[in-house]
Structure 1
Amino acid sequence: MRGRLRLAAVSLTVLAAATSLQGCGPAPVRPGMPGSVRLAGLERWRLEGRVAVQTADDAWQASLSWDHDGRQDRLWISGPLNQGTVSIVLQDDLILVNEGNGNESISRDPEGLLKEKLGFSIPLPSLRYWVLGVAAPGDAGEEMEFYPDGRLKHFKQAEWSLDYERYRDWDQFTLPQKVSIQGRSLKLKLFADEWTVGNPPS
């Protein structure tokens, strides 16, 4: 993990040179979803888990680590296609993908760069909310279904369909443990092995 943090620090330096800082307040969320304001307003969290990806041409599984801190997201995907570890840093609309061995790519088209490097595209700014069990700000969520206790079960947003198959309590929050996402010729499953809310451990 310390090596990952060093890698992230280098990536942050590159991003800092390419973009200026703006306000750090949480984005607004749509009303009407139980707990959405509290969850979407989380400024710091870490997700450790696994991801399974299926496209029209390929299918693979990998380990996933995701650190969210304010306006910045850092992801490490380990194991897909025998590539080792791919790191991703996203800040606003600027994305940096590091494939190791000094091979870094920067773009203001996050979905396009993900498609080029990983073979699939998904809106990371929206996924940052979806993994918490809330709709992303902007486009309205449709066909919303809830469990009896108020937790989100299913909804559609911006051509994507999401199913929350399992939840678990972590750090006084009830967060998704298994999420299925489908859209644009992509099926993706996220499995959360551990959530850390607040300052992630070093």
Structure 2
Amino acid sequence: MAIGLLALAGCATAPRTDSLPADPRAAWTQRQQALSQQPAWRMTGKLSVQTPEEGWFAGVGWEQRGEHFQIDMRDSFGRVVARIQGDDRRVMLTRHDGSTARAASPETLTRQLFGWALPVSGLRYWVRGLPGAQVDSKALAATRKLDVRGRLKHLEQSGWSVDYQAYQDAEPIALPGKIAVTGHDLRVKLIVETWEMPDVSAQWR
């Protein structure tokens, strides 16, 4: 299945004028609690996947409601060429021609179709600036790096290295704008253009 090529644009972030937190670790704890309590969100952006043999580029729209998700892959004309949807028990991919494929997880599905496993289960958390659900707290603490505002700058989990290269001042909370994920012979880059997360209180910004 071919996905249309898209030119990846940089992620601009306006300078912040508010004061820095006195304790970045305390600010991180507050952010983590607030974001973890948000079951529904939506983002759009651009996704690239680089393997030793090939590169994939697409526009992406991701909507999450609890365990249920829908990810749309778009070509350079904005047309949906593939849709991955499901929950923690089953996943289905629908191609632009109406054909479908099913698996127990998005990782299994993408490996079957493309020969590599896109870490959707981890990206669900990483894209919001959170560690994944299955986390060794000691191992996370050893590899986690925070910025001066108490936001994730780097983490390592399940063989993946996640780097946060930019944040957006999305309302009501600053969320990742550019993420690079490497591991398992993959290099994944995600540039977020828009965020919708309406229920997070502005006090956690």
Same fold (TM > 0.5): yes
What's 2:109 paired with? 113
SS in 2 for 1:170: coil
Equivalent positions of 1:158-177 (< 5 A) are 158-177=158-177
**Mapped contact 1:65–1:75 kept (Cα < 8 A):** yes
The structure richer in strand per residue is 1
| Bigger mean CA deviation after superposition, 103-112 or 177-186 | 103-112
Q: Tell me by how many angstroms 1:84 deviates.
A: 5.8
Tell me which of 18, 25, 47 is aligned to 1:51. Answer: 47
**Mapped contact 2:159–2:183 kept (Cα < 8 A):** yes
Q: Which amino acid aligns with 1:170?
A: A
What's 2:135 paired with? 139
What's 1:130 paired with? 126
What's 2:3 paired with? none
1:179 to 2:175 alignment: no
With the length of structure 2 as denominator, give the TM-score of the two structures: 0.75
Q: Which amino acid aligns with 1:184?
A: H
Q: Which amino acid aligns with 1:169?
A: D
For residues 193 and 159 of structure 2, what CA distance do their matches in structure 1 show? 27
Q: Tell me by how many angstroms 1:92 deviates.
A: 1.0
For residues 147 and 170 of structure 2, what CA distance do their matches in structure 1 show? 18
| Pair 84,69 (structure 1): closer, same or farther in 2 beyond 3 Å | closer
Q: Tell me by how many angstroms 1:146 deviates.
A: 0.6
For residues 165 and 109 of structure 1, what CA distance do their matches in structure 2 show? 28
1:198 to 2:198 alignment: yes
What's 2:203 paired with? none
**Mapped contact 1:36–1:134 kept (Cα < 8 A):** yes
1:65 to 2:49 alignment: no
What's 2:92 paired with? 96
Identical aligned pairs, as a percentage?
27
For residues 98 and 153 of structure 1, what CA distance do their matches in structure 2 show? 34
For residues 114 and 95 of structure 2, what CA distance do their matches in structure 1 show? 10
| Number of aligned residues | 167
What's 2:14 paired with? none
For residues 65 and 80 of structure 2, what CA distance do their matches in structure 1 show? 25
For residues 32 and 92 of structure 1, what CA distance do their matches in structure 2 show? 30
Q: Tell me by how many angstroms 1:116 deviates.
A: 2.5
For residues 36 and 77 of structure 1, what CA distance do their matches in structure 2 show? 28
Structure 1 portions without partners, runs of 5+: 1-30
For residues 155 and 62 of structure 1, what CA distance do their matches in structure 2 show? 25
For residues 93 and 37 of structure 1, what CA distance do their matches in structure 2 show? 26
| Pair 116,179 (structure 1): closer, same or farther in 2 beyond 3 Å | same
| Bigger mean CA deviation after superposition, 179-188 or 113-122 | 113-122
Deviation track 1:81-131 (CA, whole Å, cap 9, x = no partner) reads xx9611000211311101122211111143121122244212322210010
By relative contact order (CA 8 Å, sep 6+), the higher-ranking structure is 2
Q: Tell me by how many angstroms 1:60 deviates.
A: 2.3
| Pair 32,174 (structure 1): closer, same or farther in 2 beyond 3 Å | closer
With the length of structure 1 as denominator, give the TM-score of the two structures: 0.76
Q: Which amino acid aligns with 1:78?
A: R
Q: Which amino acid aligns with 2:187?
A: K
